[in-house]
């Protein structure tokens, strides 16, 4: 199955880094988070990608244009302006990079890659979220219910601790907010039938995928939720980037399924 990835947003909430590069190119363990997301799919048998580009999309194009050399041992002969590849350590990936506009919203970005998706079911996810989702189970669930769309839902951990206070202000107990107390949210990692393109309006460029298209799919009873109880993390702000970096460098990166 092909994998569509949204990678065109401005990343304003992590502007400390995204003013230099597109958000999906922000590195975790010296690799762009986009690479980590692609590895999640590639390690589970899905290696054909369609990347929706926007803000600083040329940097993503340059990354993949030079990817083979980046991951190879190479000798450069500056006198003859030639080079020799000695050993390559690259994945078997096929990547289609599509300019979908600087200010285009996500529904419009999806509509602009329809010709590359074809007429088969496909994955869709965001270029800033990683998880240890079992894709085989996700697809099996999608096929079983037969609806047009499946969204992976997650329960993010709480950012704030819970305090039990006595009347005089004494803290009698403190605990991190448990995941189970939070609601289920959109975690990306969609599985979609090509019929969903009928839900993208003509003026899709101004609409978010999460607005009119998903709302109408839900209204028509064509949207099902796959509950993911494992690891999930979205790199929404600098703090999230630092958390992911810590997990990677301490060998606790649960999204590393390869």
Q: Where are the domains of the chain?
A: 2-156+182-249
Amino acid 159: pLDDT: 55
Q: Say which DSSP state 127 is in.
A: T
Chain CA centroid to CA 167, Å: 46
* Cβ neighbours for 245, distance < 8 A, ≥ 6 positions apart: 28, 29
pLDDT band at 163, cuts 50/70/90?
very low
Look at residue 9 and tell me whether its pLDDT is greater than 90.
no
Q: Report how far residue 208's alpha carbon sits from residue 203's, in angstroms, rounded to the nearest whole number.
A: 11
pLDDT digits (tens, 9 = 90+) for 127-159: 999 999 999 999 999 999 999 999 999 988 665
Q: Report how far residue 253's alpha carbon sits from residue 183's, in angstroms, rounded to the nearest whole number.
A: 24
pLDDT digits (tens, 9 = 90+) for 221-251: 999 999 999 999 999 999 999 999 999 999 9
Amino acid 175: pLDDT: 53
Query: Is there a contact between 128 and 21 (Cβ–Cβ < 8 Å)?
Result: no
Look at residue 190 and tell me whether its pLDDT is greater than 50.
yes
Q: What average pLDDT does the structure give for the chain?
A: 90
Query: Is there a contact between 54 and 109 (Cβ–Cβ < 8 Å)?
Result: yes
Other Cβ atoms less than 10 A from the Cβ of 23: the count is 27
- Provide Rg for the chain, Cα atoms: 20
Backbone angles phi, psi at 87, to 5 degrees: -150, 125
Produce one character per residue of 126-159: b if its CB has 16 or more CB atoms within 10 Å, e if not: bbbbbbebebeebbebbeeeebbbbbbbbbeeee
Amino acid 19: pLDDT: 73
pLDDT digits (tens, 9 = 90+) for 16-42: 766 789 999 999 999 999 999 999 999
Q: Which ranges constitute the DSSP H helices of the chain? A: 15-18, 33-42, 57-65, 67-70, 106-112, 114-117, 135-145, 212-219, 238-249
Amino acid 171: pLDDT: 45
Amino acid 142: pLDDT: 97
Is the CATH code 3.90.550.10 the one for domain 2-156+182-249? Answer: yes
pTM of the predicted structure, to 2 decimals: 0.89
pLDDT digits (tens, 9 = 90+) for 53-103: 999 999 999 999 999 888 889 999 999 999 898 877 778 899 999 999 999
Amino acid 90: pLDDT: 77
Q: Report how far residue 107's alpha carbon sits from residue 210's, in angstroms, rounded to the nearest whole number.
A: 8
């Amino acid at each position: 199955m092909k994998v569509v990835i949204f990678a065109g947003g401005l990343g304003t909430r992590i502007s400390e880094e995204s003013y230099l590069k597109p958000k999906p190119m922000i590195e975790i363990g010296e690799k762009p988070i986009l690479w980590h997301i692609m590895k999640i799919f590639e390690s589970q048998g899905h290696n054909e990608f369609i990347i929706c580009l926007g803000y600083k999309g040329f940097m993503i194009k340059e990354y993949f244009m030079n990817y083979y050399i980046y991951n190879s041992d190479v000798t450069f002969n500056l006198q003859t302006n030639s080079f020799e590849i000695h050993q390559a350590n690259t994945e078997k990936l096929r990547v289609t990079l599509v300019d979908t506009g600087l200010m285009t919203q996500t529904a419009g970005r999806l509509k602009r890659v329809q010709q590359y998706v074809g007429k088969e079911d496909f994955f869709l996810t965001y270029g800033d979220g990683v998880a240890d989702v079992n894709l085989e189970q996700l697809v099996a669930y999608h096929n079983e219910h037969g609806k047009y769309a499946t969204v992976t839902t997650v329960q993010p951990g709480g950012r704030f601790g819970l305090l039990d206070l006595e009347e005089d202000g004494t803290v009698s107990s403190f605990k991190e907010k448990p995941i189970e107390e939070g609601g289920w949210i959109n975690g990306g990692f969609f599985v979609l039938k090509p019929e969903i393109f009928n839900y993208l309006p003509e003026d899709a460029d101004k609409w978010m995928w999460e607005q009119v298209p998903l709302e109408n799919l839900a209204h028509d009873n064509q949207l099902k939720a796959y509950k993911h109880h494992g690891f999930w993390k979205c790199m929404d702000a600098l703090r999230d980037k630092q958390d992911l970096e810590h997990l990677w460098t301490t060998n606790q990166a649960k999204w590393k399924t390869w």
